[in-house]
Amino acid sequence: MLQPKKQKHRKMQKGRSRRRTTETRGLTISYGEYGLQATSSSWVNSRQIESVRKTLAHAMKREGRVWIRIFPDKPVTKLPPEVTLGGGKGNIDSYVFPVKPGRILFEIGGVSEKIALEALRLAGHKLPVRTKIITLAT
């Protein structure tokens, strides 16, 4: 599972979702020829990123190259079930990456257009955000 090797602060505040804002970074394809772009916002956790990576590798028959443009570095805490309030903040449960609309999540290259589009279509179903497939031309 993806998680940071070290971090300055162990626990982080949740933050507020900014529904009307869009991403300002990671908007263009930088490495491959095809990309998967988010059109909605959500938290993507490390298990979902790994699931997409495996789906892309399987659909591309391990040809070409996959670039993961996001990294889960935001810790999410969770208290165990049936614990009363007043015990403080819970332990770290998982790591997430907060996605805003416009962010390129994954890029692939080195395969034909037909294979790339099908692989990214399958990968988009594994994520909690709505996505669209973009090419280097668009």
Strands 42-45 and 65-68: unpaired
DSSP state of 47: H
Domain 34-81+89-135 has CATH 3.90.1170.10: yes
Residue-level pLDDT at 138: 58
Residue-level pLDDT at 12: 92
**Rounded mean pLDDT for each run of 10 residues along the chain, 138 residues in total:** 89 80 90 96 95 96 95 94 92 95 96 96 97 88
Question: Measuring CA to CA, how many Å separate 39 from each of 23, 48, 74, 91, 128?
Answer: 10, 17, 21, 31, 11
In angstroms, the CA 21 to CA 31 distance is 25
> Is residue 105 classed as helix, strand or coil in its secondary structure?
strand
Q: Token pair of 137, please?
A: 């031309």
Q: Token pair of 109, please?
A: 């290259």
Per-domain residue ranges of the chain: 34-81+89-135
Element (H, E) at 54: helix 46-59
Residue-level pLDDT at 16: 81
Residue-level pLDDT at 18: 66
Strands 131-135 and 74-78: unpaired
Residue-level pLDDT at 19: 65
Q: What angle do CA 120, 29, 66 make, to 5 degrees?
A: 45
> Is residue 101 classed as helix, strand or coil in its secondary structure?
coil
- Per the rule left: phi > 0, alpha: psi between -120 and 50, beta: everything else, 61 is left
